[in-house]
Amino acid sequence: EAQVTQNPRYLITVTGKKLTVTCSQNMNHEYMSWYRQDPGLGLRQIYYSMNVEVTDKGDVPEGYKVSRKEKRNFPLILESPSPNQTSLYFCASSFRVRGRNAYEQYFGPGTRLTVT
């Protein structure tokens, strides 16, 4: 089954304790992204990757790191989490629709992170 998986789905942690949220897709998509979703603010892109070893900042990259060593995986790393990073996080992958400049994103189920 084609899907994007994220782990863990729920995480409660304390300020300053490094954590990694994993993301994996089995669709051989080139593009992957991380978003955070907060009430009243919609989805905001944190980082994205256009291919292996190619990453770029989205709108809210501060406090986050990513890596893309393999095509299928795109982990999100919080080196020193803070309470303002409490949020719902989504990973997504995408492909170009019919060879044109149009992309359809597939989203993972989300990771609810609480930093105390």
Partner 1 sequence: SQQGEEDPQALSIQEGENATMNCSYKTSINNLQWYRQNSGRGLVHLILIRSNEREKHSGRLRVTLDTSKKSSSLLITASRAADTASYFCASYNAGKSTFGDGTTLTVKP
Q: Which residues bind partner 1 (CB under 8 A)?
A: 4, 31, 33, 35, 40-45, 48-50, 56, 58-59, 88, 90, 92, 94, 97, 100-110, 112
Query: Which residue lies nearer to partner 1 by CB, 17 or 57?
Result: 57
Shortest CB 16 distance to partner 1, Å: 27
Shortest CB 18 distance to partner 1, Å: 25
What single-letter amino acid sits at 110?
G
54-57/111-115 β-pairing: unpaired
Query: Which residue lies nearer to partner 1 by CB, 83 or 109?
Result: 109
- Following DSSP, what letter does each residue of 34-86 receive, concatenated? EEEEETTTEEEEEEEEEETTEEEE-S--TT-EE--SSSSB--EEESS--GGG-
Quick one: tokens of 99? 């060879």
Query: Which residue lies nearer to partner 1 by CB, 15 or 32?
Result: 32
Query: Which residue lies nearer to partner 1 by CB, 14 or 50?
Result: 50
Query: Is-contact 21 8, C-beta < 8 A?
Result: yes
